[in-house]
A and B are shown apart, each in its own frame.
Chain A
Amino acid sequence: MSRTLTILKRELGAYFATPVAYVFIVIFLLLTGVFTFHIGELYERNQADLEPFFRFHPWLYMLLIPAISMRLWSEERKAGTLELLMTLPISLVEAVIGKFLAAWCFTAIALALTFPVWITINYLGDPDNTVIIAGYLGSLLLAGGCLAIGSFISALTKNQVIAFVISFVICFLFNLSGFPLVLDMFSSWAPQAIVDVISSFSFLTHFESILRGVVDIRDIIFFGTLIAFFLYANVLAIEAKKGS
């Protein structure tokens, strides 16, 4: 456990040691601002909630989270530091969890920096703050899901650009898996049960139900299982790719 924390600390430090962290946070805040106030029309709606703020997070994460996760393992494999790390007395599971948590903490920091939006809405009106807290929780879970996918993909390649593009595409598919664009690919040949399963993987459906302020245990289990599954796949991928 303490070794996981050591990894977490180092990884988090690595984000802030380079301009990546600052660039990411600035872009994230700019984009949430644009989406919330211009496209989401927070003011014009005249409603005291943050729905226009949260609604675009799945699309933002699809683009931005792979930029955080792409370096997690690709860089270690390319620089040869994976060999160093794996010959220190630490288990692979501890390392995978430590790195994932570091990336997750980083997105949590970026998300926490959106607090002016929350202050604004409380200043202007009288929103239901429990719904807003649920929204932040949902957003964090969503980010965790995207990060776990990105971390797994990053373990598969030494090339960060490839890791970025593939993670982007997979997050995109998860976002859309409840939509006809994805479902039509399966509905013509797959049994209805499979189509239903695919449709239930949709990030948007699970996220939107949390946004309404209903923190359903099933949505939390969905994201929790998704994260656990991809981190497990991450461990297997590193095991398999170590020699190459």
Chain B
Amino acid sequence: MENLISVKGLHKHFGNLVAVDGIDLEVQQGEVLGFLGPNGAGKSTSMKMITGYLAPTAGSISVCGHDVAIDPIAAKTCIGYLPEGAPAYGEMTPSSFLSFVADIRGLGGKTKTNAIARAVEQINLEGVMHQPIETLSKGFKRRVGLAQAILHDPKVLILDEPTDGLDPNQKHEVRSLIKEMAAQKAIVISTHILEEVDAVCSRAVIIAKGRLLFSGTPAEFAAHSYYHNAVTLSVASDISATVEKTLAVLADVSGIESATTDRDMTRVTVIPKENRSIVGSIHNCIRQHEWEVDELFVEPGRLDEVFRTLTTKSESTGEETRT
């Protein structure tokens, strides 16, 4: 697979502020890369540099083999970009706006008509094609931005918070669309919705304070969790104390957490030592004591917890960064 995006030693300083502090990144065709990080971590700034909007302080970026600094027009030709907040010209209608973008991208005649028709169909924009964009709802505005980004069927798609402000149905649609397009493209999305990583990304990177803290598949990401391989079971509240006591002494168990879910059920989470698999021994235990268990599942790991641990750890290093 060829590398469609290749970023080396990327730095961006705004005066004394270090927004991006040495990021290396490669994205291949077929990958959907999730950019994660707290607000102000440098996600948007990195995307602005990859798309050629901002010039890096140091480092090099190449997109589809074109160096963004040397041949920006060629690089921009193969990128589709949805900037943060999906900006568009408010007084234009989606129809005239898409036609404008197609003209700038050099699509003409039948190619242009087909490109617009395809994008409109994929994004479901038919109903609002002739209303001024400023009168559209937030969800439709974002869809117009997406349609603009995929108009020329680019090899590289960079989407800054594509699902921000959408309702759950619209989020689902956008995610399905991303998955549909993934095979032929290299897609980078930034988000702070962690479930999105699981839903669409083939790989996730975490950025905080302008640095890359983690890179791996969503499963690897989850494996960093304190809860990875933990087992959760629901039992009646009156036997929960016994259950906790029995399970706590099992080998490989490092701790127990419990929470009352409703009046008479308690959810017990058993945490293993060093993320070892303990579901077998717990299962045996349940059979042996003939407990009635409502639910029993192994946790893959909690993304929000990993995210918090990774990103707050870097905060304590106390470097000056952009907020």
Tell me the smallest distance from the CB of B322 to a CB of chain A, in Å: 11
Report yes or no: B91 in contact with A14, Cβ–Cβ below 8 A: yes
Are B53's CB and A88's CB within 8 A? no
The answer to whether A6 touches B85 (Cβ under 8 A) is no
- Known contacts being A17-B92, A87-B52, A242-B54, is A79 close to B87, with CB within 8 Å? yes
Q: Is A120 an interface residue (CB 8 A)?
A: no
Q: List A contacts of B85 (CB < 8 A).
A: 80
Categorize the interface residue count of chain B: 20 to 34
A99 to B: closest C-beta gap in Å: 13
B66 to chain A, nearest CB (A): 11
Check A86/B53 contact, CB under 8 A, given A6-B100, A13-B96. yes
Q: Is B104 within 8 A of A90, CB to CB?
A: yes
CB distance from B80 to the nearest CB of A (A): 9
> A84 at the A/B interface (Cβ < 8 Å)?
yes
**A81, B91: Cβ atoms under 8 Å?**
no
Question: How far, in Å, is B166 (CB) from chain A's closest CB?
Answer: 18
- B89 and A14 form a contact (CB under 8 A): yes
- Expressed in whole angstroms, the Cα–Cα distance for A13 and B91 within the complex equals 9
Residues of B within 8 A of A17 (CB): 91-92, 132
A10 and B89 contact, CB distance less than 8 A: yes
Q: Is B304 an interface residue (CB 8 A)?
A: no
Q: CA separation between A3 and B14, bound complex, in Å?
A: 31
Do A87 and B79 touch across chains, with their CB atoms under 8 A apart? yes
Closest to A84 in B: B87
A18 interface hit (Cβ, 8 Å):
yes
Verify A88–B96 contact, CB threshold 8 A: no
Q: For A16, give the chain B residue with the smallest CB separation.
A: B91
- Cβ-based interface call for B155 (8 A): no
Residues of A within 8 A of B76 (CB): 87-89
What's the least CB distance linking B84 to chain A, in Å?
8
Expressed in whole angstroms, the Cα–Cα distance for A6 and B108 within the complex equals: 12
A191 part of interface (Cβ distance < 8 Å): no
Q: Are A89 and B51 in contact (CB under 8 A)?
A: no
The distance in angstroms between the C-alpha atoms of A168 and B275, with both chains bound, is: 69
- Over the window 103-129 of chain B, the binary record of Cβ atoms lying under 8 Å from chain A Cβ atoms (1 yes, 0 no) is 111100000000000000000000000
Distance (Å) between the CB of A74 and the closest chain B CB?
Answer: 14
With most chain B CB atoms within 10 A of its CB, the pick from A80, A88, A242 is A88
Q: Which of B48, B73, B89, B100 contacts A89 (CB 8 A)?
A: B73
Q: Give complex CA distance A236, B87 in Å.
A: 23
Query: Which among A6, A81, A243 is the interface contact of B87 at CB below 8 angstroms?
Result: A81
- Contact of B51 with A87 in the complex, beta carbons under 8 Å: yes
| Contact pick for A6, options B51, B81, B104, CB 8 Å | B104
Chain B residues with CB under 8 Å of A91's CB are: 72-73
Q: What is the CB-to-nearest-CB distance from A11 to chain B, in angstroms, rounded to a whole number?
A: 10
Residue from A2, A9, A83, A90 in contact with B83 in the complex, judged by beta carbons closer than 8 Å: A83
CA distance A10 to B48 in the complex (A): 24
- Which residues of the partner chain B approach A81 to less than 8 Å between Cβ atoms? 87-89
Is B265 on the interface with A (CB-CB < 8 A)? no
Contacts of B84 in A (CB 8 A): 80
Chain A residue nearest to B152 (CB atoms) is A89
Contacting pair A80 B83 (CB below 8 A): yes
Known contacts A6-B100, A84-B83, A87-B81, then 11 further A-B pairs from the complex at CB < 8 Å, ordered by chain A residue = A3-B103, A7-B104, A9-B103, A17-B91, A81-B89, A87-B53, A87-B83, A89-B73, A89-B74, A89-B104, A91-B73
A-B residue pairs in contact (CB < 8 Å), sample of 16: A6-B103, A13-B92, A14-B91, A80-B84, A81-B87, A83-B83, A84-B81, A84-B83, A84-B87, A87-B51, A87-B52, A87-B76, A87-B81, A88-B104, A89-B76, A90-B104
Q: Report the 8 A-B pairs with minimum CB-CB distance, sorted nearest first.
A: A80-B87, A17-B91, A6-B103, A89-B76, A87-B51, A83-B83, A89-B77, A81-B87
